[in-house]
Structure 1
Amino acid sequence: MTARRRTGSDRDGDTDARARFLRARANRDGPLYSDATLEVLRAIRLSGVGSFESAAARTGQEKAQASVYIMLLATSEYITSLKFDQADGWVLTADGYDFEREQVQEQVARVGAAPALTAALERFEQINGWVVGAISQWQLTTLSRSPEHLWDPEPVIADLAVAEPVLPDLLAPVIALLPRFGRYPTQFSAALDRARRGETEWIAGIGRLSCHTVWAELHEDLLSSLGRHRNEDSVTPQESV
Structure 2
Amino acid sequence: MSHHSGPDLLVPHTLRVLGHASTGQVSSLRSLPAEVVEEALEDARALGQVGRSAFGGSTTWHLTELGRAKGESALAVELDEVGGRAVVEEAHAAFLPLNRRIGTVMTQWQLRPTATDPLAPNDHRDAAHDDAVIRRLGGLVEDLRPVLDRLTGVLQRFDLHQPRLDRALHKAERGSNSRVDSPDVPSLNICWIQLHEDLLATLGIERGKRRPDRLSPRSGRASGGRGPVCLLPPSVTHGTNLIHLMSHGRSKQTDPCAPRTTPVDDT
Shorter-normalised TM-score: what interval? 0.7 to 0.9
- 1:86-145 CA distances to partner (integer Å, 9 max, x unpaired)? 885211122211221111111111111111111111111122222121123323459835
Q: Residue 179 of structure 1 corresponds to which residue in structure 2?
A: 156
Measured in 2, the distance between the counterparts of 1:70 and 1:139 equals 37
Shift of the 60–140 alpha-carbon distance from structure 1 to 2, 3 Å rule, reads farther
CA positional deviation for 1:231:
1.9
**Is residue 114 from structure 1 mapped to residue 85 from structure 2 by the alignment?**
yes
| Code of the aligned partner of 2:107 | S
Could you say what the CA RMSD is over the residues aligned between the two structures, in angstroms?
2.8
Q: Residue 105 of structure 2 corresponds to which residue in structure 1?
A: 134
Specify the structure having the higher radius of gyration (Cα).
1
Q: Residue 42 of structure 2 corresponds to which residue in structure 1?
A: 71
Q: Residue 11 of structure 2 corresponds to which residue in structure 1?
A: 40
| 4+ residue runs over 6 A deviation | none
Which of residues 28, 50, 54 is equivalent to 2:21? Answer: 50
Which of residues 139, 145, 154 is equivalent to 1:168? Answer: 145
Does the CA contact (< 8 Å) of 1:49 and 1:87 recur in 2? no
CA positional deviation for 1:150:
7.0
Q: Residue 196 of structure 1 corresponds to which residue in structure 2?
A: 173
Q: Which runs of 5+ in 1 are unaligned?
A: 1-33
TM-score (norm 2): 0.67
Which of residues 189, 192, 215 is equivalent to 1:215? Answer: 192
| Code of the aligned partner of 2:75 | V
Which of residues 222, 226, 231 is equivalent to 2:208? Answer: 231
Measured in 2, the distance between the counterparts of 1:54 and 1:138 equals 29
CA positional deviation for 1:223:
2.0
TM-score (norm 1): 0.73
Structure (1 or 2) with the greater helix fraction: 1
Q: Which runs of 5+ in 2 are unaligned?
A: 113-118, 212-235, 240-267
Q: How many residues align?
A: 204
Measured in 1, the distance between the counterparts of 2:51 and 2:237 equals 30
% identical aligned pairs: 22
Shift of the 143–178 alpha-carbon distance from structure 1 to 2, 3 Å rule, reads farther
Shift of the 145–173 alpha-carbon distance from structure 1 to 2, 3 Å rule, reads closer
Does the CA contact (< 8 Å) of 1:184 and 1:218 recur in 2? yes
Shift of the 146–206 alpha-carbon distance from structure 1 to 2, 3 Å rule, reads same
